[in-house]
Structure 1
């Protein structure tokens, strides 16, 4: 009887002491499709008529190809730019990202100079956080 109690207590201690992370997160296939957007700093009256009327932001589609335990939050990890670090910092301050799917928005009246801005995105779920490097590119013209 003592042996059985000893064995059961050892098994119980082993199970209780397991330190497993909650959930999972897989980002190796995470992409935006398309992964590039051209932002016209001076909107075209014909092509951007609705955007001009409502001053709508420039907006990406949702990120695709990731898997994980809900709730997954998205944040801008970093921005690199062909026009320098100061421009990248300004762009990063203006850019917003939505929690539900990682839709990125650049404001209609953004102040960043013309150039190419490449964004890395952090996905964070229960127990995990990973970065998708160079996930999306905005080309401001």
Structure 2
């Protein structure tokens, strides 16, 4: 009995906790437009500036897993390869890509790859969303 209990206990140590499914992950729509410069003649821009409202994408759909699920930006592909750009973008709850209202990211297109992780699992999803800075 003791030998059987020892074998069963020893076999259970390698079992990963929880799960993480990302095969259906997507943004809808898969691109978003943020402004490079705010216009003081535009009421929406004035409101964003007054309350320091960050630019945000839609949330990432189709991710299932054991909570807490963490989102981070793994890589940004663009014509502007600067470490300063990566520091300004962030991925927050439910994979929402966020950029401060007063960012200094140059105009252009930015393909963002995300890392999604929880306890025991980590997946990188390449070029999940295109952020266009105009």
- Name the TM-score class by shorter chain: 0.7 to 0.9
TM-score for both structures, normalised by structure 1: 0.82
TM-score for both structures, normalised by structure 2: 0.86
1:85 and 2:76 matched? no
Counterparts of 1:43 and 1:80, CA distance in 2: 24
1:128 is aligned to 121
Query: What aligned pairs does 1:101-112 form with structure 2 within 5 A after superposition?
Result: 101-112=94-105
Runs of 4+ in 1 over 3 A off after TM superposition: 46-49
1:58 and 2:55 matched? yes
Structure index of larger Rg: 1
Q: Structure 1: give runs of 5+ residues left out of the alignment.
A: none
Residue 46 of structure 1 and its aligned partner are, at CA, apart by 4.5
8 Å CA contact retained: 2:36, 2:104: no
